[in-house]
């Protein structure tokens, strides 16, 4: 089905404009750990599972070799959030020219969406990006993403610098994770 998708690009250009969220002291702590050895299977798992409900489709057709090529590029980092040893989500950072770091992908596994982890986990992603020496952290979201994605970015100090629309050909329902699964 053809769908109009609005893509919003946001940035924080000064660390002083970044407004991190302190984790709720009553909530369990999410520990964020960098994946030191790139694993295509791991990134594909997170991409497919986190992105399933938001129609992340672009990378589903990538071969293992293509994943390897991407993950072993200088400046690409994968980070995973854990709650009591269980992964809750991930983010990918990519250092770019001019001191920019893009949060290429960010998201929670479906079981952890809506449980209050998103904004503090996003704060951790932005902190990790600043920790690389970035002078600018940027991200893009779209109208297919979680309905609170844009407001979460803005709440942390991100400002819109570009909006664009495009027509996407999407399947009628998200891709299956398990054989025979419907919707």
Q: Mind listing the pLDDT tens digit for each residue in 146-174?
A: 888 999 999 999 999 999 998 877 777 77
Burial 20-41 (b: 16+ CB within 10 A, else e): ebebeeeeeebebeebeebebe
Which superfamily does 2-19+28-169 belong to? Gcn5-related N-acetyltransferase (GNAT) (3.40.630.30)
Band of the pLDDT at 180, cuts 50, 70, 90?
low
Domain layout of the chain by residue ranges: 2-19+28-169
Q: Which residues pair with 142 in a beta bridge?
A: 7
Q: Model-level pTM?
A: 0.89
């Amino acid at each position: 089905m053809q769908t109009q998708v609005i893509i919003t690009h946001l940035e924080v250009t000064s660390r002083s404009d970044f407004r991190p969220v302190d984790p709720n002291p009553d909530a369990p702590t999410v520990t964020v750990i960098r994946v030191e050895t790139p694993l295509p299977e791991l990134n594909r798992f997170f991409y497919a599972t986190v992105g399933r409900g938001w129609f992340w489709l672009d990378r589903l057709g990538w071969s293992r070799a293509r994943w390897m090529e991407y993950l072993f590029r200088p400046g690409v980092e994968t980070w995973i959030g854990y709650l009591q040893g269980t992964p809750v989500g991930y983010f990918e950072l990519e250092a770019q020219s001019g001191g920019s770091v893009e949060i290429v992908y960010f998201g929670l596994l479906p079981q952890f969406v809506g449980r209050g982890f998103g904004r503090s986990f996003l704060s951790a992603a932005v902190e990790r990006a600043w920790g690389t020496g970035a002078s600018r952290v940027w991200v893009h979201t779209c109208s297919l993403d979680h309905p609170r994605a844009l407001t979460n970015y803005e709440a942390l100090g991100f400002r819109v610098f570009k909006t664009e629309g495009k027509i996407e050909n999407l399947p009628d329902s998200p891709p299956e994770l398990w054989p025979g699964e419907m919707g």
